[in-house]
Amino acid sequence: MSATIDAPRPAHGIPPTGPRPDETARLEDFGGLEIADMDLSQPLTEAQRDRLLAMFKAHPVLVFRGQSLTKDQQYAFTLNFGEIEGAHVNRLIDAKNYAPVHTVSNLDSEGNPSEVLRERGNYYWHSDKSYHAVPSLLTMLHAVELPPKGGETQFANTAKAYAALPEADKVLVAGLRAIHSWEASRIQSNSRPATAEQMAERPPVDHPVVRTHPDTGAKVLYLGNHASHIVGRPVPDGQVLMRRLLAHATQAPFVYTHRWRQGDLVLWDNRCLVHRALPHEAMGTHRRVLHRTVVKGTVPY
Ligand SMILES: [Fe+2]
């Protein structure tokens, strides 16, 4: 007689869904670009800034190698793209994190690595701040401390995903609007529930399920963990549709997996990508610390 033994569940509780890193596209096939010859710690010349903005228009992910930026330098670099948004995810409960250069980590309140994550949302596919009426344009992360194994960031190209939708689905989603909310984001990532104060501060918003990229004109699926259901449709039906679209959009051919190296600064376009972090090995032992800045975008249409 044999007994079935369940595999131990990791304490972080993040389900192993979506493509494995080794199944996903290379950076260049994904449309990204690696840049090795810029020092982002110094003020950019006008020509360098023009080059930077042109690269960002043409590539939804830019990977800068070998950087070493203080928080002030990252702040100054981010300003090249526009207005910086403060990270007020935890403003009401964690005031020290309310900063324009925010720290993303697996550290607990004592500063020690923890497998029991305080925030899980980063580990679910999402587009940053889509729960705002005016969501973000881009986000950048600068690697400060990296674990030996795992902790990659994955990006899925939702313009390519829209283009690959069957014609019947393009007809189905045309004109639909989805509800995005902080409350739904917390529920769907199995995180601490939103407080009444947070919900009042951040009421639900709605955005087109298919938005038009302001620079490229491409149609893009706009979805992710902050989105829950469809305006004017029964909630369960909308949830099923949004989950199906997200599963379509995050298939391996649409995904690039960034394996972090010390000194990397990666920035990406939230208007045509969803992204997530992957848990790393022995999260209770190894630290993963990145500095994050976000630039405000425009109202999706
Ligand atoms: Fe994010």
Give 168 Cα–ligand 1 centroid separation in angstroms. Answer: 31
Give 245 Cα–ligand 1 centroid separation in angstroms. Answer: 19
| The residue type at 275 | H
Position 109 confidence tier, pLDDT thresholds 50, 70, 90:
confident
Give 128 Cα–ligand 1 centroid separation in angstroms. Answer: 5
Name the residue with higher pLDDT: 44 or 190: 44
Give 43 Cα–ligand 1 centroid separation in angstroms. Answer: 26
Give 236 Cα–ligand 1 centroid separation in angstroms. Answer: 25
Q: Is the confidence at residue 89, as pLDDT, over 80? A: no
CB 107 within 8 A of CB 289: yes
Name the pTM for this structure: 0.92
Give 231 Cα–ligand 1 centroid separation in angstroms. Answer: 24
Share of the chain above pLDDT 70, in %: 93
Give 123 Cα–ligand 1 centroid separation in angstroms. Answer: 8
CB 211 within 8 A of CB 222: yes
pLDDT in tens, 117-131: 777 899 999 999 999
- What integer pLDDT is reported at residue 7 of this predicted model? 54
Q: For residues 72 and 75, what is the distance between their CA atoms, to the nearest angstrom?
A: 5
CB 220 within 8 A of CB 213: yes
Q: Which two tokens stand for residue 136?
A: 């973000």
- What integer pLDDT is reported at residue 8 of this predicted model? 58
Q: Is the confidence at residue 93, as pLDDT, over 50? A: no
CATH number belonging to the domain at 21-296, selected among 3.30.300.20, 3.60.130.10, 2.60.120.330, 3.30.70.360: 3.60.130.10
Give 193 Cα–ligand 1 centroid separation in angstroms. Answer: 18
Give 126 Cα–ligand 1 centroid separation in angstroms. Answer: 6
Q: Is the confidence at residue 96, as pLDDT, over 70? A: no
Q: From 219, 279, 227, select the one nearest 17 (Cα to Cα).
A: 279
Q: Is 53 helix (H, G, I), strand (E, B) or coil?
A: helix
- What integer pLDDT is reported at residue 88 of this predicted model? 53
Position 98 confidence tier, pLDDT thresholds 50, 70, 90:
low
pLDDT in tens, 215-248: 999 999 999 999 999 999 999 999 999 999 999 9
Give 124 Cα–ligand 1 centroid separation in angstroms. Answer: 9
Give 294 Cα–ligand 1 centroid separation in angstroms. Answer: 9
Give 141 Cα–ligand 1 centroid separation in angstroms. Answer: 9
Burial degree of 149 (CB within 10 A; 0-12, 13-18, 19+): exposed
Q: Is 292 helix (H, G, I), strand (E, B) or coil?
A: strand
Give 2 Cα–ligand 1 centroid separation in angstroms. Answer: 44
pLDDT in tens, 176-203: 999 999 999 999 998 888 889 888 888 9
Domain boundaries, the chain: 21-296
Q: Which two tokens stand for residue 171?
A: 């007809």
